[in-house]
Amino acid sequence: MSTSTPEITIDPIGCTGCESCAEVCPECFAMQDGTGLAVVREPLPDPIPDCLNEAIICCPTQCIHVEYPPESTS
């Protein structure tokens, strides 16, 4: 069964590496060794946990972007 998994991206220029997203929603975000910036986990959990929205709100630079695919009309 296909679900509408959102595409989550982090603007690397905006990310300060504050770790808030990874603390609030470790299911979706992790901190990358080396760069110290946040990365989106792959694969994302299905269903997407509610903490994704908390992480978006917590991000001090609002650099987490979520795009939901258009509904399939097939």
Measured distance CA(3)–CA(8) in Å, rounded:
15
Among 20, 28, 51, 52, binds ligand SF4 (CB under 6 A): 20
CA distance 46 to 18: 26
Pick the binder of ligand SF4 from 4, 7, 17, 35 (CB under 6 A).
Answer: 17
25 belongs to the binding site for ligand SF4 (CB under 6 A): no
**Residue 64 sits in the site that holds ligand SF4 (CB under 6 A):** yes
Binding-site size, ligand SF4 (CB under 6 A) = 15
Phi, psi of 18 (to 5 degrees): -75, -15
Which residues does residue 67 pair with via DSSP β-bridges, in sequence order?
7
Q: What residue ranges bind ligand SF4 (CB under 6 A)?
A: 10, 15-21, 38, 58-61, 63-64
